Structure formats: structure tokens, C-alpha cells
């Protein structure tokens, strides 16, 4: 028996069914796939991209904006909280979605949920937790909310035509297309959305750092925003593993993954590990499930129990250890095997002028500056327009007040009320608007006090109008307004970083060797200009003669030290190579010593510029550049817990390095320029940086063709009048040496 063929759908062609375009239930028509995409799919895709999933330059998706604007119109910036259900219901006037979707949006914006670095909604009740999938939020009828104080910055001057207002979905209300935010909220709070064919995932940054970077960019379009913005800052805290060059590339392109790991403490009394901060991208339950899975499979034999001890004080995952377990080694295993270490996938996809664009941090800030500039202009223009209209009315009133008896006579002798305004226009040469205003003045206001106040208002208005016109014509004044607002926001709402920054090269790996203990004894270290290094014991040094060097070479550094110290060799290619004194064999004066570029495997053409010797990485590295700038870097920035030999970007590369100097504490130095000018610099006036490749700050002003030539420690008494070479303000030109200071000396470069 042959198998039955499946029943085919009945296809009615257009010639058979002239009303084929009017489809009924179960009817099927032939349609080109291109036509289906154009008429059905593309409008849906565009609607999701433009009106649902992607944020705009103000940092909000439409659902966020509609909710916050509704709360603003309800007067929830001040006063007490109200039931969330009330807010959700009112939001439906702008947002044609179900109450569950609207309430979920509110939950994520609320302080209680801890999903945002700077929450916009002040909440009361159970709003769940972003770090837990099991701690669900309570229904809207049980919770209460109002706007946080920082939300004031979202709506400042919104009533002054700073942004466009459009009809809501049923044209019964007006709503803003964007919010006139006074700070770059697009970067301050994380934002995630999945559209059709594209998505966005924007990480959050510290408010103070973002404001500082924005101010720097407003002042100088070439400003390096990563001088201020060190790394993202997540609401859940944790540790961000930073590889500076890789992170810079991610934040410049707007795509890439940033690794985050949990924070923990070891409770010695109870022999357990308490995890109190986890990556923003995972849940506490996922971590516990993975640990249990690995423990049952035998991969984590050191663990006896794991449990969730989260309470009102915050997140806490407790791991009980078996006796003799090394907690740090166990955590290294857990970081690799569980979501205790995870990555945040960046995708900075933002709607700019209705077009989705993947931008870097600097480009986003530039777009925000352009947006905010337009908001400020519109606000000033709005105030200017109102002031000009008021001035126009008062100028008409001024003409009337100069001859009030004439005005009263005109009104009294006019037979019909409708003729009062035309007669005033004719009698005083004013227009209809001015005449209407004058005609409405009460009789009680026709006194000297009222007249004098109105005349004073005219002068004040003229001054204000001139000032506002000057603002509109001056880019610099608009920039100053934006900068002042950013400083105000930063001072009011800035908070310390939640996410700790650790450098990837400082993280120990299991396979790395333990640093062996070395014998410590005194010795003298020698370094030659060509890069030969030797260490000689005091006994050998007493018995030796002149130090041997290659022809044309010379000893440039002699320093008493010990065998347990560490060495940092800074090179001409902005790199530093690390070694221990103990890595080199004891030498003699009759030997050339070890050739550092070969021993430490320098890159081709790389030479030693400076050698620092330390044992505790305390103090500062000072880098002096030919352009007169000086960089002061915390020595701790070069400390690593591993045996890593090479660190890139050890100092700034914008200008050639003159010399480097390691100082334990601040001191005074003498800087000499090619012009012969000298400057005494106290290093205490330079703020230290943790970023190794900082370009530094201007200290000595260099005219065209000049450069910094040399740096040396200042010796008390070497100048007859040292105050000549000191200055209160930096950068400074310095002073040419006086005859007293050059007497008996021959200056040479």
C-alpha cells in the first residue's frame, strides 16, 4: 500500500481570487520573499531598533524615559514615596505596554535592586537584587517609590524648550524625545538591549571620572580621556583585571570583553572563605551551583561545604575549607573553574540622530557634548525670547507712564470699549500687544513706586538680553556653562569607585614559580653608559683597581646596595625590564660585567636609559621629557606579584625622555633648558599618577626650538640667590644664571 501524501495547502492565485489581497483565516497567497521582508519584517525590525532596545545619547531607552518623565510630571522629585502600582498605571498614558513590563523597568532603575551605579528611583520595599536570580521583587502594590535626587539633573530646564516634545501614542499628551541630562548618563549607568540583528551592552563608569574626562575634552579636543577614565566601575564591585593597552583598545573601539573577578576574605577562625562581591555578569546561585558541580565531580576536593549567607547587610557566599587548605590557591582554581571570574562583553551601540552606531568612549562623549551644547543654546534662546517679549511690553508701558494723564484721558473719552486699544496705539505709537498690556493695568498700580520699579526692570532686562545674546554668540561661554554644570554634578553626586582596578600582570598564576629566598649581603653596583652591569662585594672592591670598560664607554652609575634588592631598567622604547640583583653573579673590577640588553633580552635597538634600585617599591619614579613636562608615577605601579620580566608602556611616549629619576621622597631638583635657563623644582608640587604612561604635567616652558637638557639634584648653597630660580606657578621659563652663579665655571652642553 503506497503511503499517503501530506495534504497541501490550497493556494488561490490572484486571477482565481480577485480579492486575494484581503486574506481570511486559513488562506495562503504567493508572495515574494523580498516583498515579505520589506512590508512585514523591516518595519518590525526598525521599530525594535529605534523605539525599544537601543539607548540614545541621553542614556535612556524609550521605556526608561517614559517612566521617569511620568514620575517627574507626578511631582515625585520632592515629597514622599507613593505606591509603585500608581506610577505604573500613570506611565501607561505614555507607554502602551503591560504593567508587568513597565514595573520591571522601574525595578531595574531602583536603588533597592542594585543594578545601577547611580539609581534614578528611590525605592522602599522588596525590589529584588541584580546579583540573585532567586530574590524576586515584590508586586507593585506592595512597594513604593519616588525619584532620587540625581534625577533633578535629568529634567533640569526641560520646561524651557531644551528638547523636542512630541505627541504620545494617542496624541493626548506631550512627551520628550530626549531628556536634557546635565552629565553623560549614557556612560555612568550600564545599559543592555537586544534589538533585531544588533544589540548593545554598555558598561558603567565612575561619575567623577566621566565628568573629569568630559571637562578635559571640552577644553581640548585632543585630550586623552583615558587619563581620567581608568576602567569601568560596576555596581556589584569586584576586581577589574586591566591590561592597559588592551583595555584602551576596547574602550576606543566600543567592543571587546573586560574580565572581572570576585572579592573575598579568608576567615581564619572558621577556616572558610567569604565572597562578598561578584562579577556584574553572573548570579550568586550560578556560582554556588558550579562549585557544587565541581566538588561532586572531584575537581575541588578542598571544599567541605558551600552556602549562600546573603542577608540584609549584603551578598555573602561562604565556602568551608578542609583542614590544611591554602585559601589563595583554592581561589585561583575557582576563578578558572567557576563564574567567580567572568567577562563583561562590551558593545557600545548607541542611537545617534536615529542611526545606530558603535562608538568608543571618546566619540560618545563628543556626541554628548554636542547634544548638551544644543540644550544649553535652546535654554538660553528660550529665556532670551521671554525676556525680549517682556521688555517689549515694558517699553510700551514706559511710554504710557511718561504721560499717564494722557492715557487716562484717552480711555475716559473713548465711547466704546473695543476702541480703547486702537486709541492707545494711535495716541502713544505703540503696537497692539503693548496696548493690550497697558489697558489691563489696574488703577491701583498707577503710583510712583510701581512706575519706578517697572523702569528699573527695563534696564535690568536690557542687560540680561545683551548677556544672553553674547552667550549665544560665544562658544567659549557655552563651554564654561557646561563645565560648571559638570563640576556641580560631580561635587554633589560623585562617589568612590566600587570596582577595584588590578593589573593583569600582578595576578599570580598557579604555574608561576615561587620567588626563592636569596642570600642578602652588601655590595656596590656599577652601570656603564653602554649597558654593562656588575655587582662587586666590599672585599673585592677594596682589592681592585680601576673599573674596566669598553673603549668609548664609561661608568654612569655607582651605588651601594644589597643582594636582595630589585632592579628596574627603563629603556629608550618606553619599556621597563625587571630583575633581581641576585640574578647576576658577583663580578670584579677587571671584568666588563653582564651586558643588560642580552641578559634581559631587549628588543632590537633598545638601550638602557635609567636603572632604579628598590626593595619595597615605595616612593616615585620621575620622568623628564624634552618638551618640559614631568611625569610622577607611584613606584607601586611597577610592583608585580609575579616573576614578570618586562612591562610595556613604562612611561609616556609623547615626547623624548631626557632622564628618569627614582626618589624615595619629594626633593628639589635643578632643571636646565637648551636656552641656558634654570629652574629649581620641588617634586612635591607634582601630583603622582598610577597610570604608568601618563604624559606628565608642564613644568618648564619651552619656546620654539628649545628643549629640556638636564636634571640634577639641587645642592643647598650652589646658587647665590636661589629664589631667582624658584617660582610659585608652573609651568615657568626659569631664569638665566647670574654672573655670581657662573663665576669660575665654563658652561657647556
Given a cut of 50, whether residue 109 has pLDDT beyond it is yes
Rg of the chain over all Cα atoms, to the nearest angstrom: 36
Task: Report pLDDT for 564.
Answer: 87
Q: Which residues contact 316 (CB under 8 A, 6 or more apart)?
A: 274, 275, 276, 308, 309, 310
Q: Which of 200-204, 287-291, 613-617 has the lowest mean pLDDT?
A: 613-617
Report residue 376 as a C-alpha cell. 544649553
Q: Three-class SS of residue 496?
A: coil
Terminal alpha carbon distance of the chain: 108
Average pLDDT over residues 248-263: 94
- Residue 518, pLDDT score: 67
Tell me what pLDDT residue 12 has: 43
**Is residue 250 included in any domain, yes or no?**
no
Q: What is the pLDDT of residues 314-323, one digit of tens each?
A: 999 999 999 8
Q: Which three cell numbers stand for residue 711?
A: 636634571
Q: Tell me how many domains the chain contains.
A: 5
Residue with the bigger pLDDT between 370 and 442: it is 370
CATH code where residue 109 lies:
3.90.199.10
What's residue 718's pLDDT? 84
Query: Given a cut of 90, is residue 600 above it in pLDDT?
Result: no
Q: Which of 180, 196, 226 is the last residue of a domain?
A: 180
Mean pLDDT in residue range 417-435 = 87
CATH code (residue 296): 3.30.1360.40
Same domain membership, residue 721 and residue 642: yes
In-domain check, residue 363: no
Express each pLDDT in 112-137 by its tens digit. 999 999 999 999 999 999 999 999 99
- Let me know whether 390 and 432 are in one domain: yes
pLDDT one-digit tens code per residue, 225-254 = 999 999 999 999 999 999 999 999 999 999
Q: For position 242, what pLDDT does the model report?
A: 92
Where does a domain end: 596, 615, 634?
615
Taking 60 as the threshold, does the pLDDT of residue 508 lie above it?
A: no
Distance, CA of 653 to CA of 693 (rounded, Å)? 7
DSSP labels, 737-748: PPHHHHTT----
Residue that wins the pLDDT comparison between 303 and 509:
303
* Residues 99 and 106 sit within 8 Å (Cβ to Cβ): no
| 478 in the same domain as 423 | yes
Mean pLDDT of the chain: 88
Confidence class of residue 13 from pLDDT cuts 50, 70 and 90?
Answer: very low
Pick from 483, 374, 494, 487: which is nearest to 58 by CA? 374
> What pLDDT band is residue 645 in, cutting at 50, 70 and 90?
confident
Asked whether residue 487 is assigned to any structural domain, the reply reads yes
End position of a domain, from candidates 180, 203, 238 = 180
Percent of the chain with pLDDT over 90: 54
Decide: 458 and 441 in contact? Cβ < 8 Å. Answer: no
**pLDDT level of residue 524 (50, 70, 90 thresholds):** very high
Same domain, 623 and 607: no
Residue 746's pLDDT is what? 41
pLDDT bracket for residue 646 (50, 70, 90): confident
Would you say residue 561 lies in a domain?
yes
Task: Examine residue 207 and state whether it is found in any structural domain, yes or no.
Answer: no
Q: Output the pLDDT for position 510.
A: 43
- Range scoring the smallest mean pLDDT among 25-29, 61-65, 247-251, 294-298: 25-29
Asked if residue 184 lies in contact with residue 364, where contact means CB atoms within 8 angstroms, the answer is yes
| pLDDT at residue 2 is higher than 60 | no
Could you tell me the three cell numbers for 56? 540614545
Cβ-proximal residues to 584 (8 Å cutoff; 6+ apart), any chain: 533, 534, 535, 594, 599
Residue 651's closest CA among 631, 635, 626, 674?
Answer: 631
pLDDT in the model for residue 733: 87
Query: What per-residue confidence (pLDDT) applies to 642?
Result: 59
Please indicate whether residue 102 or residue 419 has the higher confidence score (pLDDT).
Answer: 102
Q: Are 393 and 476 in a shared domain?
A: yes
The whole-angstrom separation of Cα 185 and Cα 226 is: 18
Does position 9 have pLDDT exceeding 70, yes or no? Answer: no
CATH number, domain containing residue 702: 2.120.10.90
The pLDDT-based confidence of 76 (bands split at 50, 70, 90) is very high
- What is the average pLDDT across 586-612? 89
DSSP percent split of the chain into helix, strand, coil, nearest 5: 35, 20, 40
Nearest to 464 by CA among 392, 378, 375, 391: 391
Report residue 24: phi and psi, to 5°.
-105, 180
- Half-sphere exposure of residue 19: CA atoms within 13 angstroms, side-chain side: 4
CATH number at residue 386: 1.10.268.10
Tens-digit pLDDT profile for residues 512-521: 434 445 678 8
Do 747 and 632 share a structural domain?
Answer: yes
- Residues 604 and 610 sit within 8 Å (Cβ to Cβ): no
At residue 641, the pLDDT reads: 63
By residue range, what is the domain housing residue 396?
A: 368-491
Both 625 and 733 in one domain: the answer is yes
Q: Which residues are marked as active site?
A: 142
Q: Identify whether residues 604 and 623 lie together within a single domain.
A: no
Residue 210 in any domain: the answer is no
What percentage of the chain exceeds 70 in pLDDT?
Answer: 93
pLDDT average, residue stretch 340-349: 94
How, if at all, do strands 239-242 and 500-503 pair? parallel
Comparing 98-107, 168-177, 537-546, 651-660, which segment has the lowest mean pLDDT?
537-546
- Over range 395-412, report the average pLDDT: 81
Residue 4 CA, chain-centre distance (Å), reads: 67
Residue 720 pLDDT greater than 90, yes or no? no
Q: Answer whether residue 471 is part of any domain.
A: yes
* CA atoms within 13 Å, Cβ hemisphere of 160: 18
Same domain, 629 and 746: yes
Would you state the pLDDT for residue 23? 58
DSSP 41: I
Distance CA 546, CA 708 (A): 33
Instruction: Note the Cα 29 to chain centre separation in Å.
Output: 55
Average pLDDT over residues 272-295: 94
- State mean pLDDT over 692-715: 89
Predicted confidence (pLDDT) at residue 479 exceeds the cutoff of 50: yes
Answer for the pair 533, 545: CB distance below 8 angstroms, yes or no.
no
601 and 622 part of one domain:
no
622 and 685 in contact (C-beta within 8 Å)? no
Residues 663 and 728 in one domain: yes
266's CB contacts (< 8 A; 6+ apart) are 272, 273, 274, 327, 328
Asked if the structure places residue 530 within a domain, the reply is: yes
- Say what the pLDDT of residue 603 is: 85
Distance CA 673, CA 627 (A): 10
Is residue 707 pLDDT above 60, yes or no?
Answer: yes
Return the top range by mean pLDDT from 39-43, 371-375, 415-419, 428-432: 371-375
Residues 384 and 438 in one domain: yes
Amino acid at each position: 500500500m503506497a503511503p499517503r501524501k501530506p495534504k497541501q495547502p490550497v493556494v488561490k492565485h490572484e486571477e482565481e481570487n480577485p480579492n486575494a489581497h484581503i486574506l481570511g483565516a486559513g488562506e495562503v497567497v504567493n508572495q515574494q520573499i523580498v516583498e515579505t521582508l520589506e512590508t512585514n519584517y523591516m518595519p518590525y525590525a526598525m521599530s525594535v531598533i529605534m523605539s525599544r532596545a537601543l539607548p540614545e545619547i541621553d542614556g535612556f531607552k524609550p521605556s526608561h524615559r517614559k517612566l521617569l518623565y511620568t514620575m517627574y510630571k507626578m511631582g515625585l522629585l520632592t515629597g514622599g514615596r507613593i505606591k509603585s502600582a500608581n506610577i505604573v498605571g500613570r506611565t501607561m498614558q505614555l507607554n502602551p505596554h503591560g504593567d508587568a513590563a513597565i514595573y520591571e523597568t522601574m525595578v531595574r532603575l531602583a536603588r533597592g535592586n542594585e543594578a545601577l551605579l547611580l539609581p534614578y528611583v528611590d525605592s522602599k520595599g522588596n525590589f529584588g537584587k541584580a546579583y540573585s536570580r532567586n530574590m524576586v521583587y515584590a508586586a507593585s502594590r506592595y512597594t513604593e517609590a519616588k525619584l532620587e535626587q540625581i534625577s533633578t539633573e535629568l529634567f533640569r530646564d526641560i520646561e524651557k524648550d531644551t528638547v523636542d516634545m512630541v505627541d504620545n501614542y494617542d496624541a493626548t499628551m506631550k512627551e520628550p524625545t530626549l531628556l536634557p541630562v546635565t552629565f553623560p548618563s549614557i556612560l555612568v549607568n550600564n545599559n543592555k538591549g537586544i534589538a533585531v540583528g544588533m544589540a548593545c551592552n554598555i558598561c558603567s563608569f565612575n561619575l567623577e571620572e566621566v565628568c573629569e574626562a568630559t571637562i578635559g575634552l571640552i577644553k581640548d579636543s585632543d585630550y586623552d580621556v583615558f587619563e581620567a577614565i581608568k576602567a569601568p566601575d560596576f555596581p556589584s564591585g569586584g576586581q577589574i583585571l586591566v591590561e592597559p593597552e588592551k583595555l584602551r583598545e576596547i574602550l576606543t573601539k566600543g567592543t571587546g570583553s573586560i574580565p572581572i573577578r570576585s572579592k573575598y576574605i579568608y576567615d581564619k577562625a572558621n577556616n572558610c572563605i567569604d565572597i562578598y562581591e561578584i562579577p556584574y555578569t553572573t548570579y550568586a546561585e550560578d556560582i554556588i551551583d558550579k562549585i557544587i558541580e565541581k566538588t561532586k565531580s572531584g575537581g575541588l576536593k578542598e571544599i567541605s561545604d558551600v552556602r549562600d549567607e546573603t542577608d540584609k547587610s549584603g551578598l555573602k557566599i561562604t565556602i568551608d575549607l578542609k583542614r590544611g587548605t591554602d585559601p589563595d590557591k583554592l581561589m585561583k582554581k575557582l576563578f578558572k573553574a567557576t563564574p567567580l571570574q567572568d567577562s563583561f562583553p562590551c558593545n557600545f551601540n548607541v542611537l545617534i540622530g536615529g542611526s545606530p552606531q558603535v562608538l568608543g568612549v571618546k566619540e560618545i562623549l563628543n556626541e554628548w557634548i554636542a547634544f548638551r551644547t544644543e540644550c544649553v543654546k535652546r535654554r538660553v534662546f528660550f529665556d532670551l525670547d521671554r525676556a525680549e517679549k517682556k521688555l517689549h511690553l515694558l517699553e510700551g508701558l514706559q511710554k504710557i507712564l511718561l504721560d499717564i494723564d494722557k492715557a487716562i484721558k484717552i480711555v475716559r473719552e473713548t465711547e466704546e470699549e473695543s476702541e480703547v486699544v486702537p486709541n492707545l496705539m494711535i495716541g502713544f505709537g505703540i503696537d497692539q500687544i503693548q496696548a493690550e498690556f497697558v489697558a489691563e493695568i489696574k488703577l491701583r498700580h498707577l503710583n510712583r513706586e510701581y512706575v519706578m520699579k517697572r523702569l528699573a526692570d527695563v534696564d535690568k532686562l536690557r542687560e540680561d538680553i545683551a548677556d544672553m545674546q553674547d552667550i549665544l554668540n560665544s562658544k567659549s561661554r557655552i563651554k564654561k556653562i557646561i563645565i560648571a554644570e559638570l563640576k556641580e554634578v560631580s561635587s554633589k553626586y560623585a562617589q568612590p569607585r566600587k570596582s577595584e582596578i588590578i593589573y593583569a600582570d600582578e595576578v599570580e598564576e598557579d604555574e608561576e614559580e615561587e620567588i626563592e629566598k636569596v642570600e642578602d649581603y652588601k655590595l656596590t653596583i656599577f652601570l656603564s653608559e653602554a649597558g654593562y652591569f656588575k655587582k662587586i662585594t666590599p672585599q673585592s672592591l677594596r682589592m681592585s683597581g680601576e673599573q674596566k670598560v669598553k673603549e668609548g664607554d664609561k661608568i654612569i652609575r655607582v651605588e651601594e646596595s644589597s643582594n636582595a634588592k630589585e632592579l628596574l631598567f627603563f629603556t629608550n622604547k618606553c619599556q621597563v625590564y625587571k630583575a633581581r640583583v641576585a640574578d647576576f653573579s658577583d663580578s670584579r673590577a677587571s671584568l666588563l660585567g653582564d651586558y643588560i640588553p642580552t641578559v634581559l633580552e631587549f628588543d632590537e635597538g633598545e638601550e638602557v636609559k635609567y636603572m632604579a634600585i628598590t626593595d619595597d617599591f615605595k616612593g616615585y619614579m620621575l620622568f623628564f621629557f624634552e618638551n618640559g613636562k614631568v611625569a610622577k608615577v607611584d613606584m607601586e605601579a611597577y610592583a608585580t606579584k609575579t616573576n614578570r620580566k618586562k612591562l610595556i608602556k613604562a612611561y609616556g611616549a609623547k615626547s623624548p625622555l631626557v632622564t628618569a629619576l627614582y626618589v624615595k621622597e619629594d626633593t628639589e631638583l635643578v632643571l636646565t633648558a637648551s636656552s641656558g635657563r634654570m629652574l629649581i623644582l620641588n617634586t612635591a608640587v607634582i601630583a603622582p599618577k598610577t597610570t604608568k604612561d601618563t604624559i606628565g604635567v608642564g613644568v618648564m616652558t619651552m619656546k620654539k626650538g628649545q628643549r629640556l637638557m638636564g636634571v640634577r639634584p639641587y645642592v643647598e648653597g650652589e646658587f647665590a640667590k636661589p629664589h631667582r630660580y624658584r617660582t610659585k606657578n608652573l609651568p615657568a621659563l626659569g631664569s638665566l644664571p647670574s654672573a655670581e652663579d657662573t663665576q669660575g665655571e665654563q658652561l657647556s652642553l
